[in-house]
Amino acid sequence: MIRVQQEDFDVGAEVAALSAGNHAVGGVAVFIGVVRDMAGDEAIGAMTLEHYPGMTERMLNSIEAEARERWPLEASLIIHRFGRLQPGERIVLVATASAHRHAAFEACEFLVDWLKTKAPFWKLEETAAGAKWVEARSSDDQAAARWHTGSKPDASDAAE
Amino acid sequence: MKLLYFAWLKAKTGVAEEELTPPPEVATVADLLAWLATRGPGHAAALADLSALRVAVNQEYAKPGDPVRPGDEVALFPPVTGG
């Protein structure tokens, strides 16, 4: 399931709902993206996430479908917020449920890597010097690309 | 044809959305970008560096050689930074 929304989400309730009533689920992996208060060495007051309504849902659905093809998942969930967010606020939730942990962990990481490079969202950061659009990072492309080759990313490039 | 601009492309072109009728010789994404760049200084500035640009046709990522047709929804935006 995917949702694109302005409002916050309840992590506990979302994760509980993901596997509720399905006792084939042996593990749930969860990633929560949060707004930082620094970009490099620059302080961030807040950020605004713009997106492309329609294409966003389409891309998230297609990324989720790809994960469901590649890993034996019992359930999956992507929630991505848009609008103005303060440091400390949640931006994204990715949760994957499977019989075994490896599929859940890998599919979760795959979904995060892919949505960072495919889902049409753009971050506008507010700094003391004014608002500026965040530039895409080649390390994100590399992190996503490894899912094509099966190779592991360079640890230093993939570090957040 | 419906053109959409996001993030800094919206600021540079000065529009979020516009309905345009490109000339018949505009057959591909590359043709369209070249034609759009001639539509004024804002568009020229927005389209100056094509490597900084991503294009979606009907909400699917498109390459320079992909076709564009009347009635398509074409979106121009920088590389994405969500997540």
pLDDT digits (tens, 9 = 90+) for A94-143: 999 999 999 999 999 999 999 999 999 999 999 998 999 999 888 888 88
Written as one letter, the residue type at A119 is A
The CATH class, in words, for A2-151 is alpha beta
A1 pLDDT tier (thresholds 50, 70, 90) = very high
pLDDT tens digits for A39-95? Answer: 888 899 999 999 999 999 999 999 999 999 999 999 999 999 999 999 999 999 999
Q: Which residues partner with B53 through β-bridges?
A: none
**Over 50: is that where the pLDDT of A156 sits?**
no
- ipTM for the whole complex: 0.94
Intervals of chain B under pLDDT 70: none
pLDDT at position A158 is 40
Residue A3 makes CB contacts below 8 A (sequence gap 6+) with A9, A77, A78, A79, A80
pLDDT at position A32 is 98
For residues A122 and B16, the answer to whether their CB atoms sit within 8 Å is no
Residue A41 makes CB contacts below 8 A (sequence gap 6+) with none
Q: Which is more confidently placed, A128 or A13? A: A13
**Over 60: is that where the pLDDT of A157 sits?**
no
pLDDT at position A159 is 38
Contact status of A26 with chain B (Cβ, < 8 Å): no
pLDDT at position B52 is 87
pLDDT at position A22 is 96
DSSP letters spanning A17-86: HHHTT-TT--EEEEEEEE--SEETTEE--EEEEEE-TTHHHHHHHHHHHHHHHHS-EEEEEEEEE-EEE-
pLDDT at position A148 is 82
pLDDT at position A150 is 52
- Residue B31 within any structural domain of the chain: yes
Say how many domains are in chain B. 1
Are A55 and B59 in contact (CB < 8 Å)?
A: yes
Contact status of A144 with chain B (Cβ, < 8 Å): no
- Averaged pLDDT for residues A3-15: 98
- Residue B49 within any structural domain of the chain: yes
**CA closest to A57 among chain B residues:** B59
CB-nearest to B75 from A52, A80, A123 is: A52
- Residue B82 within any structural domain of the chain: no
- Residue B62 within any structural domain of the chain: yes
- Residue B38 within any structural domain of the chain: yes
- Residue B83 within any structural domain of the chain: no
pLDDT at position A58 is 97
- Averaged pLDDT for residues A26-32: 98
For residues A6 and A82, the answer to whether their CB atoms sit within 8 Å is yes
- Residue B52 within any structural domain of the chain: yes
- Residue B79 within any structural domain of the chain: no
pLDDT at position A140 is 87
pLDDT at position A40 is 80
Q: Show the domain range for B60.
A: 2-13+22-67
pLDDT at position A149 is 63
Q: Which residues of B touch A140 (CB under 8 A)?
A: 83
